[in-house]
Amino acid sequence: MNETLFWIYLLNSIFLINHEIDSAYWEEWKLFRIPGGINTFLLIHFPVLFIVLYGLVLVYQQNYYGLLISLLVSVSGIFAFTAHTFFLLKGRDEFRSTISILILVSTLIISLVQLVYTLLLLF
């Protein structure tokens, strides 16, 4: 099951990173009212991406902390889908492209699968 979690985590990371690339295109810092514009947005992503990628390494190593980060990553994917769905339902124009929606829906599905696998390994 650990090997399966590794591949699910890797796939989810790819979708989440692509979502963050898409977020830069849509100027997500404005959507969430993050001060400092693109500079702050990019600075925030250095530790975020480090944690996501380091968590993948820890999952591969079957380290307990990898499971905790996997839990965080899966919840982050669920949050991304939920938050952007909220904004879409409010009529916002960001993330309305076909690929943006495909990434968000895929992220939700993969994040839910990752959450289940992670919880099974934790308990």
* Span 55-86, pLDDT tens digits: 999 999 999 999 999 999 999 999 999 999 99
Domain ranges in the chain? 2-122
Q: What is the three-class DSSP state of 72? A: helix
CA distances to 26, 41, 42, 80 from 37, rounded to whole Å, are 12, 6, 9, 19
Q: Does pTM surpass 0.85?
A: yes
If pLDDT is split at 50, 70 and 90, which confidence band does 1 have?
Answer: confident
Mean pLDDT (the chain) is 97
Residue 121 is predicted with a pLDDT of 97
CA distances to 14, 72, 95, 97, 101 from 52, rounded to whole Å, are 10, 9, 22, 26, 22
d(C-alpha 73, C-alpha 122), whole Å: 15
Average pLDDT estimate for 6-35: 97
